Amino acid sequence: VQLQASGGGLVQAGGSLRLSCAASGRIFSSYFMGWFRQSPGMDREFVAAINGGGYITAYADSVEGRISISRDNTRGTVFLQMNSLKPEDTAVYYCAAAAQRQVFAPTPRTQYEYDYWGQGTLVTVSS
């Protein structure tokens, strides 16, 4: 699976951004898709994930209510809609894919559960 993330940029606090991640190479709907972020000097942290069918989502507490993950399996793309952005949201955002081997498999929340990674897209939120 090859992943290509896009949509990052500079935005003022309170603004919005929509990240996209296009996947190719395998059956997209058979993969969990996740977003992680990493700030300088910090560990990579979980942001959100969605199951292959697009009807189960999971979010980090720090972004709950402000960020929404969705996917379009016909286009092989996952999205991260980010609203009410804060300076602490500044980071490189990575999309990732993990094979979903069971219909009701738990949504993976750690980077070690993901098999494929995109190159990252930088989000900078100014105060």
Question: Which residues, in sequence order, are CB contacts of 54 under 8 Å at separation 6+?
Answer: 70, 71, 73
Rounded to an integer, what distance in angstroms lies between the CA atom of residue 19 and that of residue 78?
8
**Of 101 and 109, more confident:** 109
Give pLDDT, residue 75: 95
- Answer whether residue 27 shows pLDDT above 90: no
Phi/psi at 112 (5° precision): -75, -15
Phi/psi at 48 (5° precision): -160, 160
Percent of the chain scoring above 90 in pLDDT: 90
Rounded to an integer, what distance in angstroms lies between the CA atom of residue 125 and that of residue 4?
22
pLDDT digits (tens, 9 = 90+) for 65-98: 999 999 999 999 999 999 999 999 999 999 999 9
